[in-house]
Chain A
Amino acid sequence: MPEPVADRPYEPVIGLEIHVQLATRTKMFCGCALSFGEEPNTRTCPVCLGHPGVLPTVNAQAVHFALMIGLALGCEIAPRSLFHRKNYFYPDLPKGYQISQYDVPLARNGALGDVRIHRVHLEEDAAKLVHAGASGRIHGAAGSVVDFNRGGTPLVEIVTEPDLRSAAEASEWLRLLRATLRRMGVSDVNMEEGSLRCDANVSIRPAGEATLGTKAELKNMNSFRFLQRGIDAEIARQEQVVRGGGTVTQETLHFDPVTGDISSLRSKEEAHDYRYFPEPDLVPLAPTEAMLSRADDALPELPAARAERLERDLELAPETARLLAFRGELGDFFEAAVAAANGGGDGAVAGPRALASWVTVELVPRLGDTEPTESPVTPEALAKLAGMVSAKAVSQSAAKQVLDVMAIDGGDPEALIVERGLGMAAADELGAIVDGAIEQNAAAVEQIRSGNEKAIGAIVGAVMRETKGRADGGEVQRMIRQRLTVDG
């Protein structure tokens, strides 16, 4: 049946603009230390307050980080790029302009995963404007209060091409970008705290069409959940407009995560008349070979490449490989455990797949908010524990009890197993327990004999209870079957 016209599917087209606060020690153009929640206006100087006659100077480390980002995103680095003044009046901008980059950005034409990068450029952050009424600590202020601590913090702006096709894709890709930036150590990339901020350009078009629809810009979504919900809400809004016979207008929108409402921020066409011109106080950036190779040398193995390697070389499942690669500290822990297992020498060792499961399925929930590096469980200890399971020296469930203890107090798994009597029940002890369980579960034995295989669970359960988990479930099943077959 042909689809009714009104239900013809629309395809969302999404591009992202990401602002990344760089983890330098000082601001972009002055020597003020970056602020981490200090008292308002205690990290300012005449430069970042925009006093007349002062001169900005470029932070070398910010340039280094920006070059690293450009290279990591596979961009072409401009042989010579310029700073421009972006002019507009707002109280969070003391000079009346933001120093940014315009027609010659530091880097362009790259890609991360399937998403092309349009440009990467350096700029300075605005100050923080605290609106009266929004905070109880403002007294006697007629309107709002400006805190210039954040003003002048180095930012890298990353603009993608409109290559994303759903809110979920956008959120997933932003996770990859965040993991990549975190691995590089160039930013704290904390969305709630604003060191990673994301705007989304959203438009819709009839599926399969090549031309782009009019886009609306969703500002400042400060979590992955809000990003996804905001984009979904905006797609729905635009569909409603178009299906109602209207047209989408180009505007800047604010998504309210509490109400789910989307409201227009500013529609004045003058707001976008920034009158860019070259910043006369800053000479061009022309990255030298030395600067470029230093940036290149500083790049670690990035998450996308790491996930690929873990999947290919260690045969991990794709989701597991991605989890370990995207949480770099976890990946480091895992790889240290693999190295420890391989270096362990004698006896059965846990393979990478088993170790990955111990790290991602067992250790992660026991860590809570603790970083793996701060956990009392060392990679070596986990590898040893997993190795004992592989060698059947301890059952899976007893090993989990051992890990419970290690996650709190650390310690050597072998010693803990001995100390707590958690070693695998010896064959004769286990045999006696299995015999007892068969005797006490006559009903289950009857059911198994009449063909209900599942009834074996009751007997296995009884054995596990009796041994407090110090037996291998598969082995117990085998012993029960063997006994029932012999008897029958």
Chain B
Amino acid sequence: MIERDQVLHVARLGRLKLSEEEVERMALELSSVLDHIEKIGELQLDGVEPTSHVLPLENVLRDDVPRASLPRDRALAEAPEPAGGGFGVPSPGGEG
């Protein structure tokens, strides 16, 4: 069972602001997700390599050849607060 504190912790990591009602609902929903994963965990998988990818591919590499970058105006076009040729952001002070 996922506790209320755990929901708030995960919400904070994801920078999510949850209402009281959402916190309670998330606790239930996340618990049922974990229950399902525990069910999968019952499978006998000794000797089976953990799967990180489903594609049978390795070493997909790109040659080290430069391609044109975006003009700065375009790079900054979607910036909510462009300033001094850069992306203005709130001061990260207490965050992190």
Contacts and interface: CB of A to CB of B under 8 A. Distances in A.
Interface string B61-96: 111111101101001100001011111111110011
Nearest to B15: A89
A232 to B, nearest CB: 27
A45 B90 CA distance: 23
> Main secondary structure on chain B at its contact with chain A?
loop
B96 A88 contact: yes
B58 interface: yes
Contact of A42 (B52, B72, B83, B88): B72
A32 B72 CA distance: 13
Interface in B45-66: 52-53, 55, 57-66
Interface residues of A, number: 62
Interface in A225-277: 266, 268, 270-271, 273, 275
Given A40-B84, A44-B70, A144-B89, A286 B58 contact: yes
B70 A45 contact: yes
B66 A25 contact: yes
A91 B60 CA distance: 29
Interface stretch (A130-138, A372-380, A418-426, A439-447): A130-138
B13 interface: yes
B58 A143 contact: no
Contact of B86 (A146, A278, A287): A146
Given A129-B92, A137-B84, A283 B59 contact: yes
B62 A59 contact: yes
Interface residues of B, number: 36
A138 B83 CA distance: 7
A450 to B, nearest CB: 78
Given A41-B85, A145-B83, 5 more contacts: A57-B60, A60-B64, A143-B92, A148-B87, A283-B58
B69 A33 contact: yes
A271 B86 CA distance: 26
B13 A31 contact: no
A148 B89 contact: no
A433 interface: no
Contacts of A40: 72, 84-86
A41 B12 contact: no
B9 interface: yes
Contacts of A130: 86
Contact of A145 (B9, B58, B84): B84
The 6 closest A-B pairs by CB, nearest first: A31-B67, A143-B91, A145-B86, A61-B64, A141-B83, A60-B61
B92 to A, nearest CB: 5
A26 interface: yes
B64 A80 contact: no
Contacts of A30: 67
Contact of B90 (A43, A142, A283): A142
Contacts of B13: 87, 270, 273, 275
B55 A60 contact: no
B28 to A, nearest CB: 21
Contacts of A284: 52-53, 58-59
A442 B88 CA distance: 83
Given A33-B69, A145-B86, A270-B9, A90 B62 contact: no
A349 to B, nearest CB: 45
A49 interface: yes
A139 interface: yes
Nearest to B51: A278
A91 B92 contact: yes
A153 to B, nearest CB: 13
Contacts of B75: 41-42, 44, 49, 148
A44 B65 CA distance: 15
B85 A39 contact: yes
Contact of B95 (A46, A89, A131): A89
Given A42-B69, A139-B84, A284-B53, A271 B61 contact: no
Contact of A278 (B12, B53, B60): B53
Contacts of A132: 91
A63 B85 contact: no
A280 interface: yes
Contact of A131 (B76, B83, B91): B91
B58 A44 contact: no
A82 interface: yes
B58 A270 contact: no
Contacts of B63: 60-61
